[in-house]
Amino acid sequence: MSTPDHVHQELAALAQQLDRLLDTVRRLSEENRSLRQSQEQLSGERAGLLARNEQARSRVEAMIQRLKSLESNG
């Protein structure tokens, strides 16, 4: 049979373990929030870069067409 002191020690140990787990949950939640925010920012940057790349590609294609046109007219 457990003594009251033993039960008290076990409860105190469980309380400490619970506190550590809660701290870990808080830390991981904050880290997860930060990572999601970073991912959202990077996705936005990627979309912007893809759009700029497409614009540049279109301009290069237009220049090539103009050069071909000049070549065939010249």
Question: Has residue 2 got a pLDDT over 90?
Answer: no
State the pLDDT at residue 42. Answer: 98
State the pLDDT at residue 74. Answer: 72
Q: Whose CA is closest to 27, among 37, 17, 19?
A: 19
Please give the full DSSP string across 37-66, using - where no structure is assigned.
HHHHHHHHHHHHHHHHHHHHHHHHHHHHHH
Q: What is the pTM of this model?
A: 0.66
pLDDT in tens, 19-74: 999 999 999 999 999 999 999 999 999 999 999 999 999 999 999 999 999 999 87
Question: Has residue 1 got a pLDDT over 80?
Answer: no
Amino acid at 24: T
Amino acid at 44: G
